[in-house]
Structure 1
């Protein structure tokens, strides 16, 4: 049976972030994920998880200067010291939140830098992150992101991500397979799932409707079929609900759009 985690960076945006934990638990979620925890103390977030009986299943390592447009620094030559500091900070949070997965955003490919240097920087940084995380039982996740939403992102395809996992060669490095991004870039989702899930290299799934990134029952994808496929293949991990409610930040927009979830909660 699929297990769904509420992405608190996108869902329940009609209330303050710290109030979203209670909202997710009220609606039947047993787990949460979000982009970044760093605006709050680990103790503050851990207390909310305990209070509402929630499991933290994923968050991102520090991405560089997000407000200035940076989307990760793993592939950026010259930022290695900052990257290592960010990994240390992320692991500290992961330990406090009992979270076993950290997504390391690759970053936007820098202009006028040799592509081989960019790739080598990325591989070395992810290897370092994996080594640091392994001692704590934490996985490092790599996520291909579509170039329409994030032009210039280093990593965009499933085959590219899985080739990097093989090259990096660490057992705790996995692919974060966001079906929204995958559909936009390459499609053929059922066959991609059948191809990659049995390898053991997929650590997490995320979903959203395509093309608007709304609820999974809005758009061109047949998610019930894909959920049943994941069950058939024995996937017992979490599926992150990383979508924007169709009603935006209107009161109760997230809750009113959860009709798709009810059969799976039952």
Structure 2
């Protein structure tokens, strides 16, 4: 049975951020993820994790100026030193929070910069991150994101992400497969999971097209959950969706799934 993690950046917005950990645990989650921890001290977050008996599964390295529209800096020429310092900070947080995976956002295509140049910077930064992370026993994740939600994002396709992973050749670089993004860009989810499962380090889910609970929309998630088991996927499945209403009330899909598997 998949291990589900609540995404506290999108879920439980009825609560202040630090109160979302207890709310997720009360609904039966044993793992959590979120976008960024940097507005809070790692010690304070760890205290909430411990109090709720939760595992920190994943968060993102610093993305640049998020409020100004930046969506990562790993592929941006001239920002290499900023990227490295930010990744070091991410590893510091991960060391306190106990998670073993950090997602590195590629960033947006830059006007006047050739894509080949951004790819060169991206691979160089990822290779550096992999070397540093290996020393801490950490995995670096890269994620294709659909261009409807994030126009101009550098990385959109699963096959391209896996090609980059192979080109770098580091065992601790893996792909974060968000089935919501994958369905919008390319579909064929079951075949994609079968093809790529060995290189997938984390899976995320949401309903398509509105990014609500996974019990509504065009994806048959119960079928895919069974497939994950069939393929031997032992990682976490992050619930990165926007609840239609109250988060806890919207978890009937998960309660029904758990009842089915008892």
Q: Quick check: TM above 0.5? A: yes
Report deviation, 1:216: 0.1
SS of residue paired to 1:39: coil
Aligned counterparts of 1:45 and 1:153: Cα–Cα separation in 2: 30
The corresponding residue for 1:250 is none
Runs of 4+ in 1 over 4 A off after TM superposition: none
Instruction: Please say if residues 28 and 265 of structure 1, whose CA atoms lie closer than 8 Å, have aligned partners that are also in contact.
Output: no
Q: Using the alignment, how far apart are the partners of 1:180 and 1:235 within structure 2?
A: 18
Structure 1: distance between partners of 2:84 and 2:196? 29
Match of 2:117 in 1: 117
Contact 1:143–1:177 (8 Å) recurs in 2: yes
TM-score, length basis structure 2: 0.98
Q: Which residue of 2 aligns with 1:258?
A: 251
Q: How does 1:221-236 map to 2 (within 5 A)?
A: 221-236=219-234
Distance 1:43 1:233 in 2: 37
Displacement after TM superposition at 1:115 (Å): 1.7
- SS of the equivalent of 1:217 reads coil
Q: Measure the CA separation in 1 of the matches of 2:163 and 2:145.
A: 16
Give 3-state SS (helix, strand or coil) of 2:209's partner.
coil
Matches within 5 A, 1:79-94: 79-94=79-94
Report the equivalent of 1:2.
Answer: 2
2:75 aligned residue = 75
Please give the alpha-carbon distance, in whole angstroms, between the structure 2 residues aligned to 1:20 and 1:123: 35
Contact kept, 8 Å, 1:107 with 1:154, in 2: the verdict is yes
Tell me the number of residue pairs that the alignment of Structure 1 and Structure 2 aligns.
259
Gaps of 5+ in 1: 248-252
Return the offset for 1:263: 3.3
Partner of 2:25 in structure 1? 25
* Native 8 Å contact 1:144 1:177 kept in 2: yes
d(CA) in 2 for partners of 1:15, 1:23: 8
Please say if 1:217 is aligned against 2:215: yes
Select the residue among 202, 205, 208 that pairs with 1:207: 205
Q: In 2, are the aligned partners of 1:215 and 1:246 still within 8 Å (CA)?
A: yes
Equivalence for 1:103: 103
TM-score (norm 1): 0.96
- Measured against aligned partners, the alpha-carbon deviations of 1:194-228 in whole angstroms (never above 9, x if no partner) come to 1111xx21000000000000000011110000000
Tell me how far apart the structure 2 counterparts of residues 76 and 44 of structure 1 sit (CA, whole Å).
Answer: 32
1:193 deviates by 0.5
Secondary structure of the 2:229 match is helix
